[in-house]
Amino acid sequence: MANEGHITTGQDVAEATRAENAALKASLAGRPRPHEIGDPVAVRAAGAAGKGAFPAPVLLPQGTNQAVPGRGGDVPVRTFETEDARGVLMFLHGGGWTLGTAEGQDIYLWDLAQAAHVCVVSVGYRLAPEHPHPAAAEDCEDVARWLLDHAADRFGADRLLIAGESAGAHLAVLTLLRLGADAAAFRAAQLSYGVFDLSMTPSQRDGAGKLFTSTPAMRWFYDQYLPGLSPEERRDPAISPLYADVRGMPPARFTVGTEDPLLDDSLFMAARWRAAGNDTELEVVAEGIHGFASFPLTIARREIDRQSGYLARAVADR
C-alpha cells in the first residue's frame, strides 16, 4: 500500500447529498437526542426499537453469536464467515462508548465479508457509564489477542484486519497501541469518522448544530465514558490516541465527511499517522455527515465499496 495522501471525493453529488441530509434532518424532527434523554438505558431501548437516529438493526441468519474470554469476563462477539476468506476483520461499533452492540450492523458487515473476502468478528465491548474507561479498551485488546492466537484455527485465515466507526475507530487505534509490537500482525486498519482527541478538537467544539452528533452530544458521551476527568487528563495518550506515539502502526485508511464535527480528528490523526512513517490514506467526503455510510446515500454506497476494496487488497497475496 502506498502513502497516497489526502483525497476529497463526493463533489459531483454534493448538491444531492445536501438535499439528502436535509431530508434526514426533517425525518428526525421531534426525536430527542441521546444527551437530551440523558438516561443511557432509555437511549439504548429507543435505538433497538428503531426510534433513535440510526436505522433499527436487522439480524441476518449469516451472523453467529459466541463469546471470547476476557479479563472482565466473556466478551460477546458476532461472527460472519465466508468460504473464500483470505483474512479476518475485527470490527468495533460506534455509539459514543455508551450505545451500540455487536449485532447492530449485520447488513453492512455481511456485505463487507463477501466483498472483501474476509470473516468478520464484531465485538460487543462493555459500555459506559456502567463500565467506564478502560473497560471497552480492555475487551477489545483481549479479543485482538485471542485472534492472534486462534484466527487460523477458528477461521482458516491468519491475515488480520481491524476496523471501527466513531468511538469504534478510537477503540481500534487504542487496541493497536495496546498490542505494541504485536500490532504488526494486523495488515490494515479502516478508521471511519473516528474520535481521537477526547479533550475535543476545534471542529468538535464548533459542532453545535451538526446532524447525528454535535458538541453537546460529545460532551455527554465523554461524561459517561470518562467521568470526572478534566480536558487535560483526557489528553493522556492511553485515552486520546492523537497524543500517542504511533510509530510502527499498520497501514490505515481514514474516512470522514466535511459536515462531521469529528472532521479535525481524522485530519489530525491521519497527519500524525503519516508523519510517523505509516502508510496512510485519508478520504474527506464532501457534505458527509457523521455516520453517513449507515444511511441510504450515494456517498454511502461509494464509501462501502471503497472500504471493501481497501480491505480486500490488504489480505490479497503479496
Kindly indicate the confidence band of residue 93, based on its pLDDT and cuts at 50, 70 and 90: very high
Q: Does residue 230 carry a catalytic annotation?
A: no
Phi, psi (degrees; rounded to nearest 5) at 157: -150, 145
Q: Which of 5, 7, 27, 2 is nearest to 295 (CA)?
A: 27
Question: Among positive and negative, which fits the CA dihedral 279, 285, 289, 294?
Answer: negative
Q: Please give the helix or strand (H or E) that residue 172 lies within, else none.
A: helix 167-179
Q: Does residue 150 carry a catalytic annotation?
A: no
Name the pTM for this structure. 0.95
Residue 207 has pLDDT above 70, yes or no: yes
Q: How many alpha carbons fall within 13 Å on the CB side of residue 91?
A: 30
Domain 5-315 bears CATH identifier 3.40.50.1820? yes
From the list 35, 93, 170, 290, the catalytic residue is: 290
Tens of pLDDT, residue by residue over 48-91, are 777 767 677 899 999 999 999 999 999 999 999 999 999 999 99
> Can you state the percent helix, strand and coil of the chain, rounding each to 5?
45, 15, 40
From the list 139, 142, 197, 260, the catalytic residue is: 260
Q: Give the per-residue pLDDT at 209.
A: 83
Q: Does residue 166 carry a catalytic annotation?
A: yes
C-alpha distance from residue 38 to each of 20, 22, 42, 219, 262 (Å):
28, 25, 8, 12, 22
From the list 122, 166, 192, 203, the catalytic residue is: 166
* Residues in a beta bridge with 283: 7, 255
Kindly indicate the confidence band of residue 129, based on its pLDDT and cuts at 50, 70 and 90: very high
Q: Give the per-residue pLDDT at 255.
A: 98
Q: Say if residue 251 is preceded by a cis peptide, omega within 30 of 0.
A: no
Question: In the 8-state DSSP scheme, what is residue 286?
Answer: T
C-alpha–C-alpha distance, residues 151 and 13, integer Å: 40
Q: Please give the helix or strand (H or E) that residue 146 lies within, else none.
A: helix 135-155
